[in-house]
A and B are shown apart, each in its own frame.
Chain A
Amino acid sequence: MLYDIFIDPFVQMYQMPDFFLQVLWEGFVAGILYALIALGFVLIFKASGVFNFAQGIMVVFAALTLVGLHENGVPAFLALILTIAVMGVLAYGVERVVMRPLVNQPDIILLMATIGLTYFLVGFGEFVFGGEPKRMITEELGLPTGSTAFEMGERGLVILQHIDIAAAVIAVIMVTALGIFFNKTRIGRALRAVADDHQAALSVGISLNQIWAIVWFAAGLVALATGIMWGARSDVSFALEIVAFKALPVLILGGFTSIPGAIVGGLIIGFGEKIGELYWGGLVGGGIESWLAYIIALVFLLFRPQGLFGERIIERI
Chain B
Amino acid sequence: MFYREAGQFKTSYKSDQALFPILQDRIGMIAILLIAFVLVPAFANDFFLTSIMIPFLVFSLAAIGLNVLTGYCGQLSLGTGAFMGVGAYAAYKLTSIFPDANVIVMVLVSGVFSAAIGAVFGLPSLRIKGLYLAVTTLAAQFFLEWCFIRIPWLYNYNASGAIEVPHREMLGVVITGAEATPIARYFAVLSITALIAYLMANVLRGRFGRSWMMIRDMDIAAELMGIRPLRTKLMAFAVSSYICGVAGAMMVFFWLSAAEPSSFNIRLSFQILFMVILGGLGSLGGAFMGAAFIWILPVFLKFIPGIMGFNVAAETVQHATFMIVGALIIFFLIAEPHGFARLWQIAKQKLRVWPFPY
Contacts and interface: CB of A to CB of B under 8 A. Distances in A.
B131 interface: yes
A131 interface: yes
Nearest to A130: B315
Contacts of A115: 270, 273-274, 329
B326 interface: yes
Nearest to A54: B326
Contacts, number: 134
Interface residues of B, number: 46
Contacts of B333: 102, 105, 109, 112-113, 116
A98 B132 contact: no
A111 B274 CA distance: 11
B326 A248 contact: no
Classify the secondary structure of B's interface with A.
helix
Given A109-B277, A120-B323, A305-B132, A291 B330 contact: no
Contacts of A97: 330
A121 B218 contact: no
A109 B274 CA distance: 10
A271 interface: no
B322 interface: yes
B273 A120 contact: no
A98 B330 contact: yes
A305 B131 contact: no
Contacts of B131: 51, 107, 111, 256
Contacts of B324: 123
B19 interface: no
Contact of A112 (B143, B149, B329): B329
Interface string A205-226: 0000000000000000000000
Interface string A75-109: 00000000000000000000001100110011111
B327 interface: yes
A180 B31 CA distance: 66
- Interface size, A (range): 35 or more
B99 interface: no
Contacts of B129: 305
B270 A252 contact: no
Interface of A: 51, 97-98, 101-102, 105-109, 111-113, 115-124, 126-127, 131, 245, 248-249, 251-252, 256, 284-288, 290-291, 294-295, 297-298, 301-302, 305, 307, 315, 317
The 10 closest A-B pairs by CB, nearest first: A123-B322, A120-B326, A119-B326, A294-B139, A116-B329, A123-B323, A291-B142, A127-B319, A291-B143, A116-B330
Given A111-B131, A127-B316, A301-B128, 11 more contacts: A109-B333, A113-B329, A116-B329, A122-B322, A126-B322, A249-B139, A285-B150, A294-B139, A301-B124, A305-B129, A305-B132
Interface of B: 70, 76, 124, 127-132, 134-136, 138-139, 142-143, 145-146, 149-150, 218, 220-221, 224, 266, 270, 273-274, 277, 281, 315-316, 319-327, 329-330, 333-334, 337
